[in-house]
């Protein structure tokens, strides 16, 4: 029987790769729902090819424009806004929802999918960064499975299958170090958005590429791992691994370390999440160990990349602070891409916002959403002063 998939974030990097897997294995998968933001040309092509039951876009204006691009029989299935994304996520025809919307916008549709009893393929780390306790409580209450799609968390998920959870000593997340791994503090003052978007190993969207260059992406992954694998932040370590061959590791209490290796291609973790416990015969280049050369591992430099330390701080202090960290970072990254902030001012904006917005209960979704709104307001005021 085919697995019926609702795909949140269908025109982004992850979404496009999900559709490549579906296209390659039509006997295994069927697309029943699509949600995107503004890329209407790409979305209209996806609708024609995959013929979904429901499609969502960012707002009513884009919904009307999408109707002009597609055949009339599609018009009645087009919805929009947050409620539209939630409708696609919780679609009755779906039995699996891939959450790949970028940023905080992915939280509510992912929760809607969980409450509707859908198994989740999670590529939206912000869902667990903002509301990890609420989300994982809902996962347990509804009895669904949450499969990680991030390459690092997929690697941990796979390594954990080689041992008992209660025997885990620590989790080790690898980071490529991004495009500025070897730059000095002085050199980082003058980097441009174009330079930050040039990731040395991975092909990713704009926002995650900037997060990778600041190491904020790794910090968000630390918080995600804490909730996904029910492990203390003190037992999560980050190492810089420039080759992006070892995707992450698990160390057990007897000293054994299990790692997952592979070429840097997101189709591998995506396919594993979609097909678990099976593995699909992907037509990809294989990892040639003799061609890998030396594999290097380094300590992260918190002085040059303070965003990683801010993430550990937010996790340790808890409450709504991870949501504040995420919201401020989203605003600062957008400002950097618009040339309204310097590279180093991204972390500066996040740090000052975290000092300002602190109150709220991590068990209250309303408190988390209010902290997100307040943090964005504070960050925008800071950005106006800094630019």
Q: Which of 124, 139, 164 is the last residue of a domain?
A: 124
Q: Which pLDDT score, from 0 to 100, does residue 359 have?
A: 87
Residue 202 in this model has a pLDDT that exceeds 70? no
Number of domains in the chain: 2
Let me know whether 203 and 296 are in one domain: yes
Let me know whether 158 and 200 are in one domain: yes
Let me know whether 118 and 162 are in one domain: no
Q: What percent of the chain has pLDDT over 70?
A: 99
Q: Which pLDDT score, from 0 to 100, does residue 159 have?
A: 96
User: What CATH number is given to the structural domain containing 371?
Assistant: 1.10.1740.10
206: tokens are: 């704009």
Let me know whether 98 and 186 are in one domain: no
Report which DSSP code applies to 168.
Answer: E
Let me know whether 360 and 214 are in one domain: yes
Is 144 contained in some domain? no
Residue whose structure tokens are 């940023």: 103
Using CA of residue 147, residue 151, residue 155, residue 158, what is the dihedral sign?
positive
Is 141 contained in some domain? no
Is 134 contained in some domain? no
Is 139 contained in some domain? no
Helix (H, G, I), strand (E, B) or coil at 53: coil
**If residue 214 lies in a helix (H) or strand (E), which one and from where to where?**
helix 206-214
pLDDT, tens only, 8-24? 999 999 999 999 999 99
CB-based contact 110:120 (threshold 8 Å) = yes
pLDDT, tens only, 205-234? 889 899 999 999 999 999 999 999 999 999
Q: Which of 82, 106, 124 is the last residue of a domain?
A: 124
| pLDDT (average), residues 249-256 | 97
pLDDT, tens only, 103-126? 899 999 999 999 999 999 999 999
Strands 119-122 and 146-148: parallel
Select from 351, 221, 246 the least CA-distant residue to 298: 246
CB-based contact 92:6 (threshold 8 Å) = no
Let me know whether 28 and 172 are in one domain: no
Range of the domain at 300: 153-386
Beta bridge partners of 79: 56
Q: Residue 72, class by beta-carbon neighbours within 10 Å (0-12 exposed, 13-18 middle, 19+ buried)? A: exposed
Q: Spell out the long-range contacts of 272-277 with Cβ–Cβ below 8 A and sequence spacing 24 or more.
A: 272/147, 272/154, 272/158, 273/98, 273/121, 273/147, 273/148, 273/149, 273/154, 274/3, 274/5, 274/18, 274/21, 274/28, 274/29, 274/96, 274/98, 274/121, 275/28, 276/145, 276/147
Q: Which of 104, 124, 144 is the last residue of a domain?
A: 124
Report the C-alpha gap between 108 and 124 in whole angstroms.
11
Is 217 contained in some domain? yes
Quick one: how far is CA 73 from the chain centroid? 33
Let me know whether 310 and 217 are in one domain: yes
Using CA of residue 96, residue 102, residue 108, residue 109, what is the dihedral sign?
negative
**Buried/exposed 20-51: b ≥16 CB within 10 Å, e otherwise:** ebbeebeebbbbbbbbbbebbeebbebbeebe
pLDDT, tens only, 302-333? 999 999 999 999 999 999 999 999 999 999 99
Residue whose structure tokens are 């978007």: 197
| pLDDT (average), residues 114-143 | 97
Report the C-alpha gap between 206 and 202 in whole angstroms.
12
Is 130 contained in some domain? no
CB-based contact 26:116 (threshold 8 Å) = no
Secondary-structure breakdown of the chain: helix, strand, coil percentages, each rounded to the nearest 5: 50, 15, 35
CB-based contact 149:127 (threshold 8 Å) = no
pLDDT, tens only, 58-75? 999 999 999 999 999 999
User: What CATH number is given to the structural domain containing 54?
Assistant: 3.40.50.720
Let me know whether 92 and 170 are in one domain: no
Let me know whether 102 and 181 are in one domain: no
Let me know whether 56 and 117 are in one domain: yes
Q: Which pLDDT score, from 0 to 100, does residue 183 have?
A: 92
Beta bridge partners of 383: none
Let me know whether 373 and 235 are in one domain: yes
Residue whose structure tokens are 């994304």: 85
Q: What are phi and psi of 263, to 5 degrees?
A: -70, 155
Residue 201 in this model has a pLDDT that exceeds 80? no
Residue 84 in this model has a pLDDT that exceeds 70? yes
pLDDT, tens only, 261-295? 999 999 999 999 999 999 999 999 999 988 888 89
Is 147 contained in some domain? no
Q: Which pLDDT score, from 0 to 100, does residue 68 have?
A: 96
Is 137 contained in some domain? no
Helix (H, G, I), strand (E, B) or coil at 89: helix
Let me know whether 56 and 193 are in one domain: no
């Amino acid at each position: 029987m085919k697995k019926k998939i609702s795909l949140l974030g269908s025109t982004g990097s992850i979404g496009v790769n999900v559709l490549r897997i579906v296209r390659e294995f039509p006997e295994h998968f069927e697309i029943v729902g699509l949600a995107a933001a503004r890329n209407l040309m790409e979305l209209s092509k996806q609708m024609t090819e995959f013929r979904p039951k429901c499609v969502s876009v960012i707002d009513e204006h884009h919904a009307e424009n999408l109707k002009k691009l597609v055949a009339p029989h599609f018009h009645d299935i087009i919805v929009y806004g947050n409620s539209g994304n939630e409708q696609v996520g919780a679609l009755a025809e779906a039995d699996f929802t891939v959450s790949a919307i970028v940023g905080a916008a992915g939280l509510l549709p992912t929760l809607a999918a969980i409450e509707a009893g859908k198994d989740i393929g999670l590529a939206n780390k912000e869902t667990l960064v903002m509301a990890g306790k609420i989300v994982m409580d809902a996962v347990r209450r509804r009895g669904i499975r949450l499969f990680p799609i991030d390459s690092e968390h997929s690697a941990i998920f796979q390594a954990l299958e080689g041992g008992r959870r209660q025997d885990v000593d620590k989790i080790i997340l690898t980071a490529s170090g991004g495009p500025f791994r070897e730059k000095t503090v002085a050199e980082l003052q003058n980097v441009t958005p174009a330079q930050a978007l040039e990731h040395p190993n991975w092909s990713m969207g704009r926002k995650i590429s900037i997060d990778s260059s600041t190491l904020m992406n790794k910090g968000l992954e630390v918080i995600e791992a804490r909730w996904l694998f029910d492990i203390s932040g003190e037992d999560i370590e980050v190492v810089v691994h420039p080759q992006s061959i070892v995707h992450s590791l698990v160390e057990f209490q007897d000293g054994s370390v299990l790692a997952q290796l592979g070429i840097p291609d997101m189709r591998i973790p995506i396919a594993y999440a979609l097909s678990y416990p099976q593995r699909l015969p992907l037509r990809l280049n294989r990892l040639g160990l003799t061609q890998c050369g030396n594999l290097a591992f380094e300590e992260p430099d918190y002085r040059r990349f303070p965003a990683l330390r801010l993430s550990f701080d937010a996790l340790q202090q808890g409450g709504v602070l991870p949501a504040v960290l995420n919201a401020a970072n989203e605003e600062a990254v957008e400002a950097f891409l618009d040339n309204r902030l310097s590279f180093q001012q991204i972390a500066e904006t996040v740090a000052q916002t975290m000092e300002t917005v602190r109150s709220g209960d991590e068990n209250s979704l309303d408190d988390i959403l209010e902290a997100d709104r307040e943090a964005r307001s504070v960050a925008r005021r800071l950005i106006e002063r800094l630019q």
